[in-house]
Structure 1
């Protein structure tokens, strides 16, 4: 099996059997506020500070200052230093939406992919990315092309996907089949706030735990409680996923 890339979230890495397979493209889905963007930030920050891996954050929804503030709010105090040194490159919405054309936007990205060496990428979000296209066929064609480009350039990538439903919509389209893994972030309302969960539904060529595990978001980022998975919202178990 290919090398494993740590996400930087200990409980999640344990569920994944160590992390995400190198050069994988993983779909990260959930409704707004579940922690998907924070996961992406933490993933890149861990790569740059602990693994000597450079990363790219592409956002169609936030500008670079918004992303910096989000990173600093969860204890990623060196985020801006990493951006200034080039260890993390941020494409905010102003830059990504400036061209208004997919080909021009891709040319912008491909210049960096070709000239620099990056290991990790976060696209936030796939939902906005797909607005470049007029029909479903074109959308799927370019998603496949984009996924292939990421793999060819050696990147292990998270594609963030917005869902409207509280519980995971497991049949959300062809993107499920084009990606190597599916991770769902879930939150359910309670009288005192929300309960948060993470579910790794698929990870090709890896032995994973497919239970649903509680998680929390604090000023130190995301914590997943792997030992609390026995309650299982869905049953599940552990085993290989291909």
Structure 2
């Protein structure tokens, strides 16, 4: 039975401050950054750059603000992730040694135990290290740990409540196979503060990278699909480049 945590009203649980992602082209579109202590869903298919975007958010917090970030995964292997990110110039092993980057890999039983205990080791680590930024990669893998839709929904809501209680600004990645495909129930989409979608769509024999902001609570943002590049130093957004599929 998933631990039931008292739910906090949406209007009172949020701080009106902004957390800069420092991802080129993004913060200026959303009034300076993500809302502080918000939960942000990052959707995209394979190869769209979800993990790069998420790690860039954590690394930029370390470099620019000396903020500790935590990366919780249900699928990524530490050695592979660290090796892949070196190609972007991000030395996660060094940041980990300095205590600024925390990597936590969870198997299905550990995830369920975390929810039952109301946070467990993760909560202790966040408190001890004063974690400000969090990534969960991916919420899709988390959802697949539960067989039926009701249990899956209850588990996700319990996870969201835990994140709210931890007081971090969080990015949750999720798999999206194609443009417009619904991954989660509308109820869960209402629970997150923002939904950002990354694309790598084929058009006339080539692929175009793009992104759009489907939703960001309490924030004025563009309603267009805009250009995006992945370079040797990470993601760079191109707000002035409108992309049509």
State TM-score, norm by structure 1: 0.86
1:168 to 165, 171, 180: 180
Cα distance in structure 2, aligned partners of 1:150 and 1:104: 12
Query: What secondary structure sits across from 1:11 in the alignment?
Result: coil
2:38 to 1, 24, 31: 24
Match runs of 1:76-87 below 5 Å: 76=90, 78-87=91-100
Between 172-181 and 110-119, the greater mean CA deviation after superposition: 110-119
Cα distance in structure 2, aligned partners of 1:101 and 1:126: 12
Change (3 A) 1:135 1:98: closer
Match runs of 1:91-102 below 5 Å: 91-92=104-105, 96-97=106-107, 99=109, 102=112
Change (3 A) 1:203 1:101: closer
Deviations 1:82-115 (A, max 9, x none): 11111110113xxx11745512575332332343
Query: Displacement of 1:191 after TM fit?
Result: 5.7
**Which position in structure 2 is the counterpart of 1:238?**
none
Structure 1 residue ranges without an equivalent (≥5):
235-242
Cα distance in structure 2, aligned partners of 1:104 and 1:111: 11
Indicate the RMSD between aligned Cα atoms, in angstroms: 2.0
CA contact (8 A) 1:168 1:184 kept: no
Structure 2 residue ranges without an equivalent (≥5):
1-14
**Which position in structure 2 is the counterpart of 1:146?**
159
Alignment coverage as a number of residue pairs? 227
Deviations 1:145-165 (A, max 9, x none): 211221222100011000122
**Which position in structure 2 is the counterpart of 1:103?**
113
